[in-house]
Amino acid sequence: MTMTALLSERRRRPALRAWGGRSVAGIVLLVFVLFFLIPMVWLLFAVTKSSRALIVTDPFSPGSWSDFAANWNQLFGFQDGAVTAWMGNSALYAGGALLITLLVSIPAGYALALTEFRLRNPLLVMTLVVMLIPGTALVLPVFLELNSVGLIGTPLSVILPMSFFPFGVYLTYIYFSTSIPRDLLAAARIDGCTELQVFTRIALPLATPVVALVAFFSFVQNWNNFFLPFIMLPSSDGYPIQVGLTSLLAATPAFNPSSAGSDSIQLPTLALGTIVSILPVLIVFLFSQRFLVAGMTAGGTKE
């Protein structure tokens, strides 16, 4: 059968079928847009209502400014400003871990990509293997270890384990091995740069994109980390906001009837707590969506 005959034969019916296929595809896309968006949009409306209005009014009608202010005051008045302290803790843990992660991962990824040493391959395999196991798998073992040396409850007991970030090392490794020509470094050495200078003056200035990428993933992951701080930090003073949310939940009579008391949390306030807890990550997300899409696929090599 010739090409043209094949084409003309196929063209008549598919025109109708393609139209049907397109509308099915459109409906699928729309259903999932609603699925992903409705909870978030609803959350924005919920925080502007009183707890009565939340139940009786339309879910997608705006409440009032005064109710929002009341929710705000209840949230930040909870246990004498515990929420502010938890946000501060989260910033300390995620920020501290971010700094150490960068200090540790960038040189390590550089060394794995561009220098030779005997333990290079074992270290690389270890990085890949640990990178692919879920972060929570090591939490209890790390707890048992730190517990035996009496380090539980200190900020370092979450910051240091968070700073061990093989995925960051891997991203850096891929970046340095694919986008920096070895000749460039060799040239710098000929010109008299020491090994340290080669790294700080040549490699590092070229590494800005990957530094940003590692920083993003490290920050988001650590800010959202629940299991590690939940286990390491027994006292409410040390909670990051993610763990603090459980305290808010426990103080919400709607979910926990035994908690009805003076310092209780109403549903809209709990909703506000949820928004506040993710605000830093959400802001980072909104500002970095473009480079993220590129970065997330950089984790694997091209086909």
The tokens of 202 are what? Answer: 């040549």
Cβ-proximal residues to 225 (8 Å cutoff; 6+ apart), any chain: 135, 158, 162, 240, 242
Q: Which of 179, 250, 287, 291 binds other proteins (CB under 8 A)?
A: 250
> What sections of the chain are H helices per DSSP?
3-46, 51-56, 65-77, 82-114, 120-132, 139-148, 156-163, 166-179, 182-190, 195-197, 204-206, 208-224, 227-232, 241-250, 267-297
Structure tokens that stand for 158 in this block? 């979450």
* Binding-residue pattern over the window 132 to 161 for other proteins, x denoting contact by CB under 8 A: xxx-xxx-xxxxxx-xx-----------xx
Q: How far is the CB of 51 from other proteins (least distance, A)?
A: 9
For other proteins, the binding residue among 85, 99, 128, 156 (CB under 8 A) is 128
Determine if 186 is a binding residue for other proteins (CB under 8 A).
yes
Nearer to other proteins, 69 or 186 (CB): 186
Q: Which residue, 212, 225, 134, is CA-closest to 172?
A: 212
Contact stretch for other proteins (CB under 8 A) within 61-69, 76-84, 204-212, 280-288:
280-288
- Based on the shown chain and the rule CB under 8 A, indicate whether residue 206 belongs to the binding site for other proteins: no
Are 102 and 193 contacting, i.e. CB atoms less than 8 angstroms apart?
A: no
Distance between the two ends of the chain, CA-based, in angstroms? 34
Exactly one of 59, 62, 77, 88 binds other proteins (CB under 8 A); which one?
59
- Is 123 a residue that touches other proteins (CB under 8 A)? yes
- Is 99 a binding residue for other proteins by CB under 8 A? The answer is no
Nearer to other proteins, 18 or 69 (CB): 18
Among residues 85 and 138, whose Cβ is nearest to other proteins? 138
Contact with other proteins (CB under 8 A): which of 12, 16, 36, 80?
36
Q: Does 16 bind other proteins (CB under 8 A)?
A: no
Give residues 158-177 in contact with other proteins (rule: CB under 8 A). Answer: 160-161, 163-164, 166, 169-170, 174, 177
Q: Are 214 and 105 in contact (CB under 8 A)?
A: yes
- 249 contact partners, CB below 8 Å, separation of at least 6: 255, 256, 270
In total, the chain counts a number of residues equal to: 303
Q: Which is nearer to other proteins, 52 or 81 (CB)?
A: 52
CB of 227 to other proteins, least distance (A): 6
